[in-house]
Structure 1
């Protein structure tokens, strides 16, 4: 399975104002961060491919993202 980084780079590389960076470690427990959204500083975990569009394009109600929000 490809990493979230690779999926985001492939599917959203053409969007302006979106940069995708990869880092090696954000934590290792069950509530660890998978993605940090800058400049807001919001953190997300246990991401699933189907919510990428909602998260990046902000085209659905925020309630869809509630299960993935870490703070």
Structure 2
């Protein structure tokens, strides 16, 4: 599998994140791709999702379906 180019990713954390830097960062500015990484390891690996899969995941969390 070819790794997507994340060089232009603009990662951000939720405003609800705590001060201990123990959260995930999300980049939604890439065409057709959402990237997620560990805020403690910004140069480490990132998981990637289609925008539809990411929205389904978020909807599941918000509605308690997970």
TM-score (norm: length of structure 1): 0.31
Tell me which structure has the larger Cα radius of gyration. 2
Structure ranking higher in strand proportion: 2
